[in-house]
Structure 1
Amino acid sequence: MFVTVVLMFCVFGVTTGEFVVAGILPEVAGDLGVPVGSAGLVVTAYAVGMIVGGPLLTAATAAVDRKRLMLVLLAVAGIGNLASACASGLHWLLAARVVTALVTSTFFAQAVVVAVRSAPPGRTGTAVARLAFGMNLAMILGAPLGTAIGHQWGWRTTFATVGVVCLIGAGLVALGIPASSEEAHGSALAELRVLSRRPVLRALALTAIGNIGVLMVYIYLAPLLTQVAAYPQAGLPILLLGYGIGATLGNLVGGTLYDRNPRLWQPTLLGLLALTLAGAWLPARNSLPAALAVVAIGALGFAVVPGTQARVMRTAADAPTLSMAVNASAYQIAAAGAGLLGGAIADSGSGPRPIYLVAAALTGCAALLTILVSRPSTHRSGWRGPRPLSGHTHSREHAWERDRR
């Protein structure tokens, strides 16, 4: 239990550094003297670092002792966030974010394996759910607190605080995580072979397309609410808290629905998310409906996550560590595209409001693609696979094997 709590704290620290940017983006832009859209490249740079660093670093370190590797990864994350706080210009900030992102998904992948192997028999799903709850805490507590710190003492203090939390996490791992007794857990070549499979590539594409719309709204949440809805800046931490609560509840509900009928509920949830994004465009200039839309978007946006993660884990089941990193990379591909496209819209003459409509269109496309891709796979295997983010697992190894072929 203590091992899982330590790892959950580390996941909370590492992922807070990613989520908190949404609440301090205007401050970053103002301090560095760049447009908000250009400051959004901070998110894109982080996403690119995870996309490149996640699978490659995870595969390259496949034979490294897990505890030693986690200590190094947390140290790099801490130093990277401290370097972000000291950046003198946008280019230096982008470089610091890339370095920080390189280790994020690799750490999470290692933490999942350690938590699962240290859990009692039959408690695998609970261990993974607790780590995922560290991410939810980053949204519920980390992002609002970091935003409040940024508004009070500046965005640099926010990044510095995240860096200190990561270094504290490294100390807890050093003291509380036992040395690994397992043998080398694979080779880079064997792990990377997973990426050549067509089902894996399809799963990654659906993860990316299914998340780009909601991420576009989340990244530019601050200008959407302050510039379009005229919401007071002091209220942003509360709205980020609402988004995080919605995301947590949506994750649990979405996982339950996916287990009951993945073929029905995954495209349905994506369709509902598309309609909610489109509906948010209509009252976008009214602060109260816009605030309510934030909670709904958070709930539906994370309701689709269990299904997309389950698909990736299913198709890459013989490389569990890499499959976690690959799924994070696919998610960050969406974040990179969302940062670029949303920035172009935000800096255009029409302002950030059309982001809602573009996000709705992209999410609607994801719903249609999910129907097309899922139909033959679901029909062949009848799979009702694991839902690691919602805390339940099922023994479906035979179905996993059929789906991989």
Structure 2
Amino acid sequence: MPAALLALAIGAFGIGTTEFVIMGLLPDVAATFTVSIPTAGLLISGYALGVTVGAPILTGLGSRWSRKKLLLGLMTLFIAGNVLSAVAPTYGLMMAGRLVASLNHGAFFGVGAVVAASLVTEARKASAIALMFTGLTVANVLGVPLGTALGHAFGWRSTFWAVAGLGVIGFAGILALVPDLKADENPHVRKELAVFRRPQVWLALLTTSLGWAGIFASFTYIAPMMTGVAGFSEGMVTWLLVIFGLGLVAGNLLGGKLADRSLMPAMYGSLGALAIVLLLFTFTAHGQVTAAITLVLFGVAGFATVAPLQTRVLSKAEGAPAMASAANIGAFNLGNAAGAWLGGLAIDGGLGYTAPNWIGALLALAGLGVALCSGALDRRPQLVHA
């Protein structure tokens, strides 16, 4: 595989780390700014909303740039946002840093996938794209736990300095290794936007948002749940995130294989499994062994949804894959924001740190319901095109 893919994977690793590492540092950040944990959780919602807004806008605005220039600009935003987070003296500036860092997320993965595919032969395009996205998966196995451990040892600000450093390495790698691929000579933004007239595209995006709202309702508050309910020490959070990350890797691979075999059953099964696991987590979180086992299953079920959800929206967006792909990344993150907010409301309402689990289960079930409706429309094509 071309060395340029390594540069893209490093960028993906940094982006994945900065997105998720805040979960393990939430109590520390809350203490620094003297805010409640649910208020600190809004830093996750803010990032997710930034991805939702930034993905389609930057994809459209950058359509006339060379792809290398656009990737370099996106990594510059990433570095600047993480530096601002690292030095932020107030909660408001911390939120601003998260927002700046988030703007690059959706466009980077959308453009990066196009670049990765262009670097290899037709027969290896999927493998090249998968290799770039491996950076995001590995971030959950290594980047998040290591970033959490670094933050606990040297303060949470050190984590954001380290992530900014990853951005610098990714920038240098893209500058040195990625060829200067030109943008499309005649980008058709209107054609890309026209895909949003299709009801099935909106149903696919809604399914993505609801499913991932279920995941983040729980995952956002995983650190206080594991320490305050299951009784783990703060130092164990790092290792719990490691086993969760292993579950993510397994779930990602499983979801891809199942989606290749039969897309809609894979979507129904993964969303249903997610709802069941989250409901069980409400009860199993009270014991250390059961909490750890359920956390792994949560990772498997959560990331088993990714391939079916992404494939579904692309299958309904024929002719406009770039904008639809960016929009679905935005939908993932809109779900992240909504889930974190709803979980925080439950905690603020005095329902306890396990309440986000059953709220997440209900959201996953809602996503399953939308997916079932969308599948029913597939069997009645005359309604789809009406």
Bucket of the pairwise TM-score, normalised by the shorter protein: over 0.9
Taking the aligned partners of 2:265 and 2:169, their CA distance within structure 1 comes to 44
Whether the 8 Å CA contact 1:63–1:187 is kept in 2: the answer is no
After superposition, residues 193-272 of structure 1 pair within 5 angstroms as 193-272=194-273
User: Offset at 1:133?
Assistant: 1.1
Structure 1 residue matching 2:285: 3-state secondary structure = coil
Whether the 8 Å CA contact 1:59–1:192 is kept in 2: the answer is no
- The corresponding residue for 1:147 is 148
Write the deviation string for residues 85-144 of structure 1: whole angstroms up to 9, x where unpaired: 111111111111111111111111111000001112211110111122111011011100
How many residues align? The count is 384
1:324/1:375 CA distance change after superposition, 3 Å: same
After superposition, residues 108-147 of structure 1 pair within 5 angstroms as 108-147=109-148
Taking the aligned partners of 2:186 and 2:333, their CA distance within structure 1 comes to 26
User: Offset at 1:374?
Assistant: 1.2
1:293/1:320 CA distance change after superposition, 3 Å: same
- The corresponding residue for 2:286 is 285
- The corresponding residue for 1:165 is 166
Structure 2 residue matching 1:160: 3-state secondary structure = helix
- The corresponding residue for 2:35 is 34
Larger CA deviation: 192-201 vs 305-314: 192-201
User: Offset at 1:185?
Assistant: 5.7
After superposition, residues 238-387 of structure 1 pair within 5 angstroms as 238-377=239-378
Give the AA of the match of 1:203: A
Give the AA of the match of 1:209: L
Larger CA deviation: 308-317 vs 26-35: 308-317
1:78/1:352 CA distance change after superposition, 3 Å: same
Taking the aligned partners of 2:144 and 2:129, their CA distance within structure 1 comes to 22
- The corresponding residue for 1:389 is none
Taking the aligned partners of 1:151 and 1:404, their CA distance within structure 2 comes to 54
Structure 1 residue matching 2:231: 3-state secondary structure = coil
1:336/1:404 CA distance change after superposition, 3 Å: farther
Larger CA deviation: 112-121 vs 178-187: 178-187
Give the AA of the match of 1:160: W
Taking the aligned partners of 1:96 and 1:404, their CA distance within structure 2 comes to 43
1:56/1:62 CA distance change after superposition, 3 Å: same
User: Offset at 1:365?
Assistant: 2.1
Whether the 8 Å CA contact 2:206–2:331 is kept in 1: the answer is yes
User: Offset at 1:265?
Assistant: 2.8
Whether the 8 Å CA contact 1:62–1:184 is kept in 2: the answer is no
- The corresponding residue for 2:106 is 105
- The corresponding residue for 2:180 is 179
User: Offset at 1:380?
Assistant: 5.6
Whether the 8 Å CA contact 1:263–1:378 is kept in 2: the answer is no
Taking the aligned partners of 2:105 and 2:32, their CA distance within structure 1 comes to 26
1:241/1:404 CA distance change after superposition, 3 Å: farther
What percent identity do the matched residue pairs reach?
A: 33
Whether the 8 Å CA contact 1:61–1:188 is kept in 2: the answer is no
Give the AA of the match of 2:133: A
Taking the aligned partners of 1:106 and 1:178, their CA distance within structure 2 comes to 18
User: Offset at 1:182?
Assistant: 5.3
User: Offset at 1:282?
Assistant: 1.3
Structure 1 residue matching 2:203: 3-state secondary structure = helix
Whether the 8 Å CA contact 2:72–2:175 is kept in 1: the answer is yes
1:231/1:64 CA distance change after superposition, 3 Å: same
Whether the 8 Å CA contact 1:59–1:191 is kept in 2: the answer is no
User: Offset at 1:7?
Assistant: 0.6
Whether the 8 Å CA contact 1:12–1:137 is kept in 2: the answer is yes
Write the deviation string for residues 51-71 of structure 1: whole angstroms up to 9, x where unpaired: 111111111211111101111
Larger CA deviation: 300-309 vs 276-285: 276-285
Whether the 8 Å CA contact 1:230–1:287 is kept in 2: the answer is yes
Taking the aligned partners of 1:368 and 1:230, their CA distance within structure 2 comes to 35
- The corresponding residue for 1:391 is none
1:404/1:289 CA distance change after superposition, 3 Å: farther
TM, length-normalised to structure 2: 0.95
- The corresponding residue for 1:77 is 78
Give the AA of the match of 1:308: L
Give the AA of the match of 2:106: S
TM, length-normalised to structure 1: 0.91
Q: Which runs of 5+ in 1 are unaligned?
A: 382-402
User: Offset at 1:196?
Assistant: 3.1
Structure 1 residue matching 2:123: 3-state secondary structure = coil
- The corresponding residue for 1:93 is 94
Whether the 8 Å CA contact 2:55–2:327 is kept in 1: the answer is yes
Taking the aligned partners of 2:130 and 2:225, their CA distance within structure 1 comes to 32
User: Offset at 1:15?
Assistant: 1.8
Taking the aligned partners of 1:283 and 1:294, their CA distance within structure 2 comes to 9
Structure 1 residue matching 2:64: 3-state secondary structure = coil
Whether the 8 Å CA contact 1:273–1:360 is kept in 2: the answer is yes
Write the deviation string for residues 212-256 of structure 1: whole angstroms up to 9, x where unpaired: 111211111101111111111101111111111111111111221
